[in-house]
Chains A and B, each alone.
Chain A
Amino acid sequence: MKCPEIDDLEFSERGKLAVKEIRRIKEINQWLSATITVGTFANIFAGNGLIKSHYNLTQTDFDSFATALKSSPSIARKTIETISGLQAIKAKTSKERQFWKAVYNGCEAAK
């Protein structure tokens, strides 16, 4: 599994909404499954704070996200896949598309 590093990733407004939605799913996921801890999702999906305009994502961020996703309940995984897949189509920049594709694929097909 190869996770990408994305420098200066900028989210569109839709992209920010999708990040918020995944954060919410992560919280429900944690409630439903005590085995998933807060720190295992990528920082971008952690916390409730404002979504920043720019992110520099390291491979470690993605690796931890992919691991957390693998151990999530199947329905939560499919929900995150669906949101990220539809976001990949509507992405405004190639970096944003790369990010959503990596989330969708759990990094497996990240280019």
Chain B
Amino acid sequence: MKSYFILLFAVFTSVFSYAETTEDTLTNYLTIEYHNSIKAYDTKLEKCQQTSIVITPDDVKHISDDWNVLSSVLSYHYAKTQDLCTHDELQRFTLLSAKLQALKDSDKTMLNQYNQLIMAIPLTFERTKADYFILPEDIRVQFSSLEKLNKPFNLMKTIENFE
């Protein structure tokens, strides 16, 4: 009877420690993948921003030459095209972040800090909608139909073209 209890205790202990090791391995694995996803997002952002496409006043003057309108349109379309360009990488980051958040032993402070940092760009993009969606619909439709505005473009060179 005594040896039966010893055996039972040994089995219980080894199962528990195996489960703990597996959980540690999972957290470590997902943390590495998480950092890789940040790097991938960073690299993709760089790639999306490195474009020679520039919007000129000639591209848009038949729709509007009002800078208040144009600045809202350019901000919104820049944000939209960049957001689309980095969509897959951002999605992978958010999924890994959510998985790690759900693990008991993950570093929640680190996850929170990185989340605030990585989401700062998508949130900035969201803010461009406020100025854009107050424009009349027919104006928005005309701008949206311009092919050049539907691909990533160089923001600073575009601004300089309108100065």
Q: A residues bordering B, Cβ < 8 Å?
A: 21, 24-25, 28-29, 31-32, 74-76, 78-79, 82-83, 85-86, 88-90, 97, 101, 104-105, 109
Taken together as a complex, chains A and B put the C-alpha atoms of A32 and B78 apart, in Å, by 28
Asked if A85 contacts B45 (CB within 8 A), the reply is no
Mark out the residues of chain B between 96 and 118 whose CB falls within 8 Å of any chain A CB in the assembled complex. 113-114, 116-118
Tell me how far the C-beta of B21 lies from the nearest C-beta in chain A, rounded to whole angstroms.
Answer: 29
Given A25-B117, A75-B38, A76-B117, output 6 extra A-B contacts at Cβ < 8 Å: A28-B113, A32-B113, A32-B114, A86-B75, A86-B124, A90-B131
Q: Tell me the dominant secondary structure on chain B's binding face.
A: helix
Q: Known interface pairs A75-B38, A75-B42, A101-B156. Does A89 touch B120 (Cβ–Cβ under 8 Å)?
A: no
Tell me how far the C-beta of A83 lies from the nearest C-beta in chain B, rounded to whole angstroms.
Answer: 5
Q: B residues bordering A, Cβ < 8 Å?
A: 38, 41-42, 45-46, 49, 71-72, 74-75, 78-79, 82, 113-114, 116-118, 120-121, 124, 128, 131, 155-156, 159
Q: Which residues of B contact A105 (CB under 8 A)?
A: 156
Q: Which residues of A contact B42 (CB under 8 A)?
A: 74-75, 78
Q: Which residues of B contact A79 (CB under 8 A)?
A: 117, 120-121
Asked if B120 contacts A21 (CB within 8 A), the reply is yes
Taken together as a complex, chains A and B put the C-alpha atoms of A82 and B117 apart, in Å, by 12
Taken together as a complex, chains A and B put the C-alpha atoms of A38 and B82 apart, in Å, by 31
Chain A's closest residue to B45 (CB) is A78
Tell me how far the C-beta of B103 lies from the nearest C-beta in chain A, rounded to whole angstroms.
Answer: 20
Q: Known interface pairs A75-B42, A86-B79, A104-B156. Does A32 touch B117 (Cβ–Cβ under 8 Å)?
A: yes
Q: Known interface pairs A75-B38, A83-B124. Does A89 touch B45 (Cβ–Cβ under 8 Å)?
A: no
Tell me how far the C-beta of B55 lies from the nearest C-beta in chain A, rounded to whole angstroms.
Answer: 11
Taken together as a complex, chains A and B put the C-alpha atoms of A74 and B38 apart, in Å, by 10
Taken together as a complex, chains A and B put the C-alpha atoms of A71 and B128 apart, in Å, by 29
**14 A-B pairs with C-beta separation under 8 A:** A28-B113, A29-B117, A31-B113, A74-B46, A75-B118, A78-B42, A78-B45, A78-B121, A83-B121, A85-B155, A86-B75, A89-B74, A101-B156, A101-B159
Of the residues A83, A86, A104, contact of B78 by C-beta under 8 Å: A86
Q: Which residues of B contact A28 (CB under 8 A)?
A: 113, 116-117
Taken together as a complex, chains A and B put the C-alpha atoms of A5 and B104 apart, in Å, by 51
Q: Which residues of A contact B128 (CB under 8 A)?
A: 86
Asked if B117 contacts A75 (CB within 8 A), the reply is yes
Taken together as a complex, chains A and B put the C-alpha atoms of A74 and B79 apart, in Å, by 19
